[in-house]
């Protein structure tokens, strides 16, 4: 009876998924591992080991599935959070500007609402004062003497 590698891999993957959900790991890690394993599968297949390449392709499939499930769970978690809880940059209170403690750095939390209130001058690009047209110049260069 051969060793059940695929079943052990699936068991470890389920344990990893539980740990990832519990500890809040990045849900893209299984997808990155699947991409690395996909390259390894291509290399193994190119060497002629088709049976091993097929087994590795199954692992890639399982990793991609786990990554999609973790991304879905992460998406559901983000959508259930209150609207202000997930944001890290809150606009400063009216009349006050945020200051940093580090010298040489500007304000870190600046609201972009004040930018919309400022008027922006219109640029007139159709004026003729900077038009350089060949027709208005002399036919002969300046250095040419008659």
| Distance in angstroms (rounded) separating the CA atoms of residues 80 and 62 | 27
pLDDT confidence of residue 135: 56
> How far, rounded to the nearest angstrom, does the alpha carbon of residue 13 sit from its chain's CA centroid?
25
pLDDT 10s digits, 65-124: 999 999 999 999 888 887 655 555 555 555 555 555 566 655 556 666 666 666 767 776
Q: 58 is written with which tokens? A: 């199954």
Looking at per-residue confidence, does 104 or 58 come out higher? 58
Strands (E), 29-114: none
pLDDT confidence of residue 80: 87
Q: What is the pTM of this model?
A: 0.54
- Each domain of the chain, given as residue ranges in start order, spans 24-80
Nearest alpha-carbon partner for 21 in 64, 65, 61, 77? 77
pLDDT 10s digits, 18-49: 999 999 899 899 999 999 999 999 999 999 99
Looking at per-residue confidence, does 2 or 88 come out higher? 2
- CB 100, CB 108: distance < 8 Å: yes
| Distance in angstroms (rounded) separating the CA atoms of residues 107 and 100 | 6
Average pLDDT value for residue range 1-9: 88
pLDDT confidence of residue 58: 94
């Amino acid at each position: 009876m051969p060793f059940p590698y695929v079943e052990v891999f699936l068991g470890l993957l389920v344990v990893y998924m539980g740990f990832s959900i519990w500890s809040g790991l990045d849900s893209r890690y299984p997808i990155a591992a699947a991409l690395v394993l996909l390259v390894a599968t291509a290399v193994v297949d190119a060497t002629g080991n088709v049976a091993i390449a097929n087994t590795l392709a199954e692992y890639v499939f399982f990793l991609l599935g786990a990554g999609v499930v973790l991304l879905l769970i992460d998406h559901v978690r983000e959508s259930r959070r209150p609207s202000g809880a997930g944001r890290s940059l809150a606009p400063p209170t009216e009349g006050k500007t945020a200051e940093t403690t580090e010298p040489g750095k500007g304000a870190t939390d600046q609201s972009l609402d004040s930018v919309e209130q400022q008027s922006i001058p219109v640029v007139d690009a159709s004026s003729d004062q900077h038009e350089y047209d060949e027709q208005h110049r002399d036919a002969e260069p300046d250095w040419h003497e008659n």
